[in-house]
Homo-oligomer: A and B are copies of this chain.
Amino acid sequence: MVVLLKNNPDPKQMENLTNWFHSMGLNTHVSVGEQQTIIGLIGDTSRVDMDVIRALDIVEDVKRIQEPFKNANRKFHPDDTVIDVAGHKIGGGNFQVIAGPCSVESEEQIIGVAKAVKASGATILRGGAFKPRTSPYAFQGLHGKGINLLLEAKRITGMPIITEIMDAATLPLFEDVDIIQVGARNMQNFELLKQLGTIRKPVLLKRGLANTLQELLMSAEYIMAGGNEQVILCERGIRTFETYTRNTLDLSAIPVLRSLTHLPIVVDPSHATGAAYLVKPLAVAAAVAGADGLIVEVHNDPAHALCDGPQSLTPAAFDDMMKRLQKVLPYAVRD
């Protein structure tokens, strides 16, 4: 961290400031220039609050040089984190495809889709029971009943399941869920993240619609700071000015995150694009760019899905995507 002082700082105030840094266990290096005096802070600055320093009378600006995240940081944890989901490993060279409908709608639907995607090679079943919808008048999901239907599909197919949580008060319902998903709109619902830090179950954390990768890692840090180290990061598209796609899938996030963190990275081409015809090209692109997995929407009857129909693949289209994926995966760039 570098602290830039205003011109001609008061020597007494400056001494107080450096003493304060020392009391926080930091070393300081002071550069006195003609126009500008700079204090460099050496040590672990992840707990330093830049805003407090910036508010001081003699300080003009503060710039962070090191990353503010620690548990998620590859520098302090060089090896890939590998997360085991009922025997299916994600990360460290292990690639998994998570598939299923946007919403759980009925027993017939979820079991039908589960069998179909399993046959094509998916290993984990997705399905929404609590649905975040922009409008209070839109379908909000089957809630507890939806989770029970997912558990029934798990019992029948043997596939572990992932579903989204929207409120920590419902955590008891997720006891037999294998991965808990945090949606994009809750990426900075810090109270929810703290609660998920207290459990010992994998959490798939989606990047917010207008959040940076550093903010995503800071939200992962919230979960990890509580002791839960099983965090899977998910790139699902960010808001841009483009209107032909619902969001803009940021595939650069894959190699960037790989360099910054040891956590696995999964890509959601369905929500990112909002259109079925875009899922296959972006799924294979994500795979060769080095993703650790995909999460893809599949519905046996997209035209009558209760939510997000236009972006769901049919089982046949999903099978076609999986075949192409198998071809390109050996050439994925992961160095």
Contacts and interface: CB of A to CB of B under 8 A. Distances in A.
Interface of A: 2, 4, 27, 29, 31-36, 38, 40, 42-43, 46-47, 49, 51-52, 54-57, 61, 63, 65-66, 68, 130, 132-139, 166-169, 185-186, 188-192, 194, 209-215, 218, 221-222, 225, 238-245, 248-256, 259-260, 272-273, 277-278, 280-282, 284-286, 288-290, 302-310, 312, 324, 327-328, 331, 333
Contact of A49 (B66, B139, B222, B333): B139
Given A168-B167, A188-B185, A281 B255 contact: yes
Contacts of A190: 132-133, 136, 166, 185
Contact of A33 (B42, B252, B256, B304): B42
Contact of A134 (B4, B61, B188, B243): B188
Contact of A241 (B51, B212, B303): B212
A61 B63 CA distance: 12
A7 B68 CA distance: 18
Contacts of A212: 241-244
A328 B69 CA distance: 35
Given A36-B65, A55-B302, A185-B188, A256 B278 contact: yes
25 contacts: A2-B2, A31-B40, A31-B42, A36-B65, A47-B137, A49-B307, A51-B307, A55-B303, A63-B63, A135-B218, A135-B221, A136-B194, A137-B225, A167-B168, A169-B169, A189-B189, A210-B239, A213-B242, A240-B248, A244-B260, A251-B281, A259-B277, A284-B331, A285-B288, A328-B331
A221 B137 CA distance: 9
Contact of A248 (B194, B248, B302): B248
Contacts of A168: 167, 169
Nearest to A58: B303
